[in-house]
Amino acid sequence: MALIIPNQKVGRDSHMQGFYALYYTGVAGFGHAVIVMKDGTIVGADATGGTYDGTYEAVGDNIDIRVDLTVPAGGTLVTGQSLAQSMTQSITATLPMHFGNGQPVAVRTPMGPVNVIFKKLRDA
């Protein structure tokens, strides 16, 4: 469930809008995904069928994100948990304003810590 935030194309956060590759690692492995950030909304998917739905907002020199990650049954998370049933976890994080520069960012999830590299692919 995504919260739609009014169009923010002409704000200081317009440079955040775009397509991003995510490369992430945890104690049990690695994964990758693609997300789109546009007008305060985040949507995306990963290679194992996980989906990302959420919001973002520029706050000071940072970006606050809230994403619901839904993973299908039978998957294994990079944090080590094997899933007998599908699961949704809400992830919140505060990212630096220039998070898409390819530098790792530590994200605490409800299932454990994950290191994420955000790489901006193109503008949205």
For residues 49-77, give the mean pLDDT: 96
User: In which band, very low, low, confident or very high, does the pLDDT at 7 lie, cut at 50, 70 and 90?
Assistant: very low
Q: pTM score, two decimals?
A: 0.87
What pLDDT does 15 receive? 82
Q: What's the mean pLDDT when you consider all of the chain?
A: 90
For residues 79-84, give the mean pLDDT: 96
For residues 68-88, give the mean pLDDT: 95
Beta carbons of 86 and 108 less than 8 angstroms apart: no
User: In which band, very low, low, confident or very high, does the pLDDT at 32 lie, cut at 50, 70 and 90?
Assistant: very high
CA distance 46 to 52: 8
User: In which band, very low, low, confident or very high, does the pLDDT at 11 lie, cut at 50, 70 and 90?
Assistant: low
